[in-house]
Structure formats: C-alpha cells, structure tokens
Structure 1
Amino acid sequence: MGRTGLQNIAKKQFQGERIKENRGGDRKSHLSQEKKDNVRKFIGKLRGSESHYGRNKSKRIYLMAGLSIKKIHKIYNTNTTDELKVKLSMFRRIFVSEFNIGFKSPATDVCSYCTILNHKIKTYPSGSKERNDVIIEKRIHKKRANAFYQLMRQDVEDSISYCFDLQQIQPLPKAPVQEAYYLRQIGFYSFCIVDLKGLKPQFYCWSEEQAGKGSTEISSALLHFLLNTDFQSHTILRLFSDGCISQNKNNIVIRTIMYYLQTTRTSLKEIHMHFPNRGHSFLPADRVFGRAEKLLRNKPTIIAKEEYIEIFKELGQLYSLGQDWELKDTKDLKKFYKDLKNISNMKRIFFKVSEVNGKRSVRVRAMENFIYEGNETYENLNKKSFTINMLNRMQPKTLPLSRSLSNEKRWM
C-alpha cells in the first residue's frame, strides 16, 4: 500500500468513519437482482392450461404451441424499460430452473371449421366489416361447441352418465428395435367406458387378428356393458361420445340400443346419446387414456397382448374379447329396424321406452342441436314385419374371432 493509501486510512479513522473494503468480492449480483425479480414477476403472470389428459394431476402448465422461450424473452424485452432488459441466457435459466412450464404440441386433431375461420381472420384487414363478421361467426361456433360440455355438466334428475371412446391403436409387438419399427405391426384395441368423473373405467380389449375397430365391435362392447351394468334403479342413462360415424354414431349402434331396451327388463326408461362438434370432443375417457399412456411409456418393449392387458388392469376393470365378451352380429338387426335418417347431422338422440299390455316399445327422437328443440317428434323405427316375439327368438348370433391380415403383417 502506498503513502496516499495510508494517509486516507488514517484520516478516516481520525474522523471516526468506517473503512470499506473495495477489493474483490461480488460487485454485480446486486445490480442484476432487480432484473431477475422482474423476470420472475413477468413469467409468473403467464397463464397456460393444464394437461388435457390430466396425467397424474401434474402442476405443470402448458403454453401455446407457437410460443418458445426465445419468443417470450423477446416479448419481455419489448415491454420493459432498458434498465430491466436481460440477456436470453439469464431469461432461459430462470424460466427452466424456477418454473414448471412447457409448451403444447402442435394440434393434429382440430376443428376444420375453426381453422378456416382463423385463416379468414388473418386474411382480412383489422377493423374491416368482413373480419368482424368472421370473428362473430367464430364466437357463435365456439358457443355451440361449448353447449356439449354444458350438457355434460348438467345434473339431470334420476339419471346416470357415462362416456365411451376407442383409444389410439397400440402397436403389437412394441419394441425399440429399428427393424420392428419399419415392419407392419398388428393393432391392439382398447375401448373404454367410464363415468364422467373418470372413475372406475371399464376396458374392452382385443387385437387385430380377432376383429376390426368398426361399428360391430363397438356396438358389441356397448351391448355387453348395458347387459352387465347395475344402473341402481336410475331411469335415464346419458351417454357421451365423439361423433365418429364408423364407430359410435351410426344406425348399427342405434339398433343395438333399441334391441337392448326392447328385450331386457331394466329400470331404464330413457337413453340419451350426445355427440360434440367435430374437433371439440374432449371427453373424460381421454384422461383415462392419458394415465394408460404414462404406464405404457415406462414399458418400451411389449411382445404379447397379455402384457397390454396387465397394464390396463392396473387402471380399471378389463374384459378380453373371446373370454369375457363376445362379438355379436349387430348388423343383422337391420331386419327388424329402419334407419334413422340424416344421422350424421344429429347432436342428440333420445330413446324412450313405453310399455302396453306387458309389451315394450321404443321410440326415437333425433335433434340437430344441443339446447334448442324444434319440431322433432319420437318416431317408431320398427319395420312392419316386426314383432317382439320374433326379436326375442332371433338374437344376434356370435361371430367367429378370426380376421384376415395382410401379407405385410404376417411377418410374425
């Protein structure tokens, strides 16, 4: 230390001042602390959505698919003062280490009509009449879609509610081997029926060499569910499913429900079916499938379908085709019932039972909207040659469980 330094120390001691050490140490952290606090405040205000599937009730939230950390950092710096702007490296470190935030995957199953309207909104100039008209049209479309979920949340007196859906096809065998990936595997199918709380799911499982994934399989599983479920003296059964024409929303399923109501002694007097707008079909069954996906991710190799069955048994009741339920020729019911016309446009289909002189009859009412009711009336879909005695004698026959596979899938 030089002479000047010693004189300064002596002077401060004589004046009673505290001598401050200025050599080394952290001179920058206190300068960036305010910036870090501002970044945390900004990120904390981001509003995302929980996982659609509700996997394990995670606290992680998801932002829009089009966003990224880099884009959010740019938004932050654009809307803050120069003194509080930060580098991307600092922003990324706080975002990743202190917050549980992810980004949604790009949507692959969206409403085509919503996509068209969104494109039109971007095309027309801001404030133009055309753009405002499209925005209003989209708002109305969204409200119609939300009406389905309003129906699902309704508490209808003396009713019990379920939803059903077919899970995404699972590959068999499933193996982390490149050769197996490029070969054509057979499919393992899982049809789930669950209450609206997502509790006590029931799985109907089969593989592709046994049967397909069309209306016959879905209606057979649904018939088994109806025949073997205790509805606890409820008089109304409410069913919710997507509007897939080849599986859920078709005359084969309609005839199967009519057959059940006319040939079975049950407390049910009405069955209500509800179908959402296309692209807006988020059901409680999807949450169950989310839990299944989590278990399947932990098992990278599955050689036999029995391994799939054991996994689904961990989630709920499982019925294996050929052991617990049978594939019925529900298409043959066409000889007794007429088609419900214009079924593809219907949002609600009601079945109502009446009994006269000990004979049960079922009438059907179909509506093209969720809330408002027009002039639709209950109609009789029985054919002229129909008799209940004939229906009781001619039960749907059991179909053999053998389905031809393509040569590409016979490598196993």
Structure 2
Amino acid sequence: MVDVTPKYKYTNSEHPRRPNKAFYFIINDKRVRVCKTFFKNTLAVSERMIYTVQQKMNEGFTMNELRGKHSNHKKLNPELLEDIRKHIDMIPKIESHYVRASTSKQYIGGDKTIKDLYNDFVVQQTETNRDIGNYIAYYKIFTNEFNLGFFEPKKDQCDLCISYNNSNDGLKQDLEEKYLKHLEEKTLCRSEKQTDRQNITKDTKVVIYDLEAVLQCPRGNSSAFYYKSKLNSYNFTLTELLASGEKKAYENVHCYFWTEVDAKRGANEIGSCIWEYLKNVCANDAEPKNIIFYSDNCCGQNKNKYIATLYMYAVHYLNIASITHKFLIRGHTQNEADSVHSLIEKEIKKNLN
C-alpha cells in the first residue's frame, strides 16, 4: 500500500483527511496496481485490517502482542493449587527401566491419562466439598511442575537408526558412514550369536540374560488400586538357547525374582543371580562347562568390574572351563529373553481382565 499524493490538496488544518492508498501486488519483481476490492478479496482481509495497518504505518511503529497481557486474569485459590499438587504427589512413581542413569524423570502407570487423573481429582474434591478447579489448571501443574511421564513397556529403539531415517539428505550424508558401520556391527553381532548356537554341545551353553521391566503390585483397573502405594518387583531371566535347527529357540529358562524390600537392581544383585545359576549348572553335571553369555550394554548391571570379577571367581572355584561374555549392539538388543518377558506380561493382562 502506497500513499497517493495529489497535485493540489485543500485541507482542514484541524481535521485533515487521511491520504488515499494505492494498492499493488508484486508479480515477477514488477508492481501491478489493482483496485481496493480486488486487493481485499485476493488476500481475504477486511476493511478493518487495512485501516489498522494504515494507522500503524502512519504512526511509524507496530505495537507488541497484547493478547493475554491484561491484569484481569482470574486467579486460582492457593488451596486448590495445593490440593492438585498433593493429588499428583500421591500417585506411585516408577523409575525408568532403560535410561535411569541419565535422567531424573519418573514414570507412573500407563493405565490412565491426565484427563483420567483429573476426573479422579474431581471425585476426591467433591467428596470433601472442596473446589475442583478446571482441567487446564490441573494439566499445567502436571506438565510444568512435575517431571513425570506415563510408563509403557516397549522394545529398545536405536537412536542412531531413528536419527538417520528422520534426517534430511544433507544430514544423512554426514551420518552415512557411521550408520553403515552401525548396521554392519548389528549384522556381525547377530551372525556371531547364530554361529555360537551352531556350536552348542553338551559341555557348551549359550545363555542370554536380561532384567525385565519393573513389575508392580497390586495391579487393577479401579482407581482404588491405582493410587495405592505399590511394591516394585524385579525379575532377572537367564534363557538357555538351543542349537540351530531346533523347533524352539530356547529350552531352559531360569527366573530370579525379588522385591525392592529384599534388594536393589544393581551389579551386586545381578551378580548374585548369575552366581546361583552357575552353581546349579555345575551341580547337575561333573563335566567342565564352557559358558557364553549375551546381554545388553547396561553398565550399571552387566558391563562392569564386579561382573568381570565374578566370572574370574567362578572359573577358579567352580567346575567351569571358560566364561565368555558378548554384548549386543546398542539399540538392537532384542533377544530370546524378551519373548519370555512378553509371556509374563500377557499372563498378567489375562488375569487382570
């Protein structure tokens, strides 16, 4: 929009008229003048918008965003805000199974959504004749003041593969060498496990071990169960693989189960389970055994000096010829032990229904 300057102008000094505007579109770097009606209909704007823009141009500045900046906001009762925080605090929390070493984020059971939690809060407040507030207030406090997420067990996902697949062509070119090497390592790792399965004999065992995601009890679909303090339980599974060509992938499964009352889930606990397993293996057969372990790369549980020292101790004092530990490639640690954990989860859901 450009001001139109007439050759002759008769003005009223007290109430001068606003200058007229000429309207243009830029087409192929050339200005094409159009009428005002054509201008408005093409841009789908109103007369009011044109007037406002013209006024701001004449004043020489554009005002800042003022929406929501007024001082007439409705303030919530501090007691209501405190009730919301107490209600969120009473939800039992779960630590992350996969990245607890690198994050402080806590998780709650995925049986409910934030909307469901707010509905439970409304019921609680109604029973005590207290203010229920609104969902937006509950949602903002939940997301802004609490570092919480909803726990949903799922398979490991590879960060590198996801980054490569979601990148544009330029970033893919930078990541390509690292990505191709990563795929090669994944293929070699799985090939190595397949080779070990082909070499299984009476005196050689290939064992995959893994710690299942936290199991909580009590569990149920009612709100009474959801807000009860829960007991965290841990299940450590050692799965003995069968030789290639067998109908089943594995035969013997050893599960070691304990609760947070008994112990934690660090290297000491994992090492105790492995030690019990090795003693059972040696007790059943007098022949020296060669053990090949596979696991993920969790440093706090599997990849540390305590587990290595345990292996040395077991080879020295038990009837074991050798222990070899091989680590699966990060992000591609899916293994036969996962199917055991899946069966346990399915059985839990079946009994809950």
- Bigger Cα Rg: 2
Q: What is the TM-score with the length of structure 2 in the denominator?
A: 0.49
The structure showing larger relative contact order (alpha-carbon pairs under 8 Å, at least 6 residues apart) is 1
TM-score (ref. length: structure 1): 0.42
